[in-house]
Amino acid sequence: MSEIIVGGQGTLVDPSWESGCFNAFVNELADEITGSCMIPMNLPRSEVMNIVNRAKKWFYKNYEYSVRENFMILPIELFSSEHFKKTRSFTLPGMNPATGGNEVFSVYGLAEVGANWGGSMDINWTQGDFAIERMLMGGMYGGTKTGAAAENLQYFVINESFFDMARQIMRNPLSYNYNQLTHELRFTGESPKKNVILEVYETIPECALFQDEAFFRYCAAKIKISLGQKLGIFGFTLPGNIQVNPDLIKGLGEDELDKLIEEIKSDEGTDWMMHS
């Protein structure tokens, strides 16, 4: 089995959270780069660790499966603490050393418990089980005028859009901002008067991310690009006077990286779309 060489860094330490899955991931990368030892060249282990760490940050920002939705609660007692009065902020959890995950990457929703989400604003014919289905079936088979079902559905969509906009105005959401680097959640408006629920995206455990095929391809492509760049600087020649083509190695990595990024972008679709 091929290995990522350590070089002169004898004090290099594996990630503290879990060395087993990281070592297996690095060895798999080494097999990919060297063709299972067919090519006697590789990058130092420290450079591979840097590439993997940078890849994780890119995936958290651009790959939906690298994070997961979760909820957190901030008890009302926290908002009367001296720390909040001075800073109007809280520091949310960073990476869990035991798993390498569970870092709060972003906050996409925030509301007080029991907040007014629109109150009694609704329409009677949307209440009850299968209400929309009954409305449509009544228009299609109830003996009403032609096109009644389509008109009812159109009215439903328009009314729901109006109610959604009204909820955004009437519920008086709390103003906040969140910094991904410092994990600081800062309240920029009035202070909450009840417990606050946060809707957050947190990172998945790193061992799970290492098992993802897209993450492996991304890291392998980045390693090929870095390897081609380093070999091009030094004009490396293999034993037996075999010439190395660093531009080809770098080009293979760039092509694979471009294809992967395009796949990730094309995998993100809209939730729904209406055609007129």
Domain identity same for 257 and 217: yes
Q: Is 223 domain-assigned? A: yes
Domain identity same for 97 and 199: yes
Quote the pLDDT of residue 229.
85
> What's the mean pLDDT when you consider all of the chain?
77
Domain identity same for 135 and 52: no
Domain identity same for 134 and 222: no
For residues 276 and 269, what is the distance between their CA atoms, to the nearest angstrom? 19
The residues, ordered by sequence, that sit 6+ positions from 72 with a Cβ below 8 Å of its Cβ are: 92, 104, 197, 198, 200
For residues 56 and 209, what is the distance between their CA atoms, to the nearest angstrom? 8
Query: Which of 164, 179, 195 delimits the end of a domain?
Result: 164
Domain identity same for 217 and 261: yes
Q: Is 3 domain-assigned? A: no
Domain identity same for 77 and 160: no
Q: Is 10 domain-assigned? A: no
Q: Is 4 domain-assigned? A: no
Answer yes or no: pTM beyond 0.75: no
Q: How many domains does the chain have?
A: 3
Q: Is 7 domain-assigned? A: no
Domain identity same for 108 and 191: yes
Domain identity same for 99 and 195: yes
Quote the pLDDT of residue 245.
78
For residues 219 and 226, what is the distance between their CA atoms, to the nearest angstrom? 11
Query: Which of 150, 184, 203 delimits the end of a domain?
Result: 203
> Which residue range(s) make up the domain with 104?
66-115+171-203
Partners of 271 in the β-ladder: none
E strand or H helix at 268? none
Domain identity same for 261 and 220: yes
Domain identity same for 153 and 234: no
Q: Is 40 domain-assigned? A: yes
The residues, ordered by sequence, that sit 6+ positions from 268 with a Cβ below 8 Å of its Cβ are: 64
Query: Which of 203, 223, 256 delimits the end of a domain?
Result: 203
- Torsion sign over Cα 31, 36, 39, 40: positive
- Find, among 256, 209, 264, the residue nearest to 228 by Cα: 256
DSSP state of 169: H
Domain identity same for 240 and 216: yes
164 pLDDT higher than 80: no
Quote the pLDDT of residue 243.
74
E strand or H helix at 176? strand 176-179
Q: Is 276 domain-assigned? A: no
Residue 70 — φ and ψ, nearest 5°? -155, 170
Q: Could you read off the pLDDT of 138-147 as tens digits, one per residue?
A: 656 655 555 5
- Confidence tier at 132 by pLDDT (50, 70, 90): low
Q: Is 1 domain-assigned? A: no
Q: Could you read off the pLDDT of 100-129 as tens digits, one per residue?
A: 888 999 998 888 876 544 333 333 434 444
Cβ distance 219 to 126 under 8 Å?
Answer: no
270 pLDDT higher than 60: no
Q: Tokens at residue 24, please?
A: 């297996």
Residue 103 — φ and ψ, nearest 5°? -80, 130
Domain identity same for 104 and 183: yes
Q: Could you read off the pLDDT of 187-241 as tens digits, one per residue?
A: 988 888 889 999 999 999 999 999 999 999 999 999 999 888 887 877 666 666 7
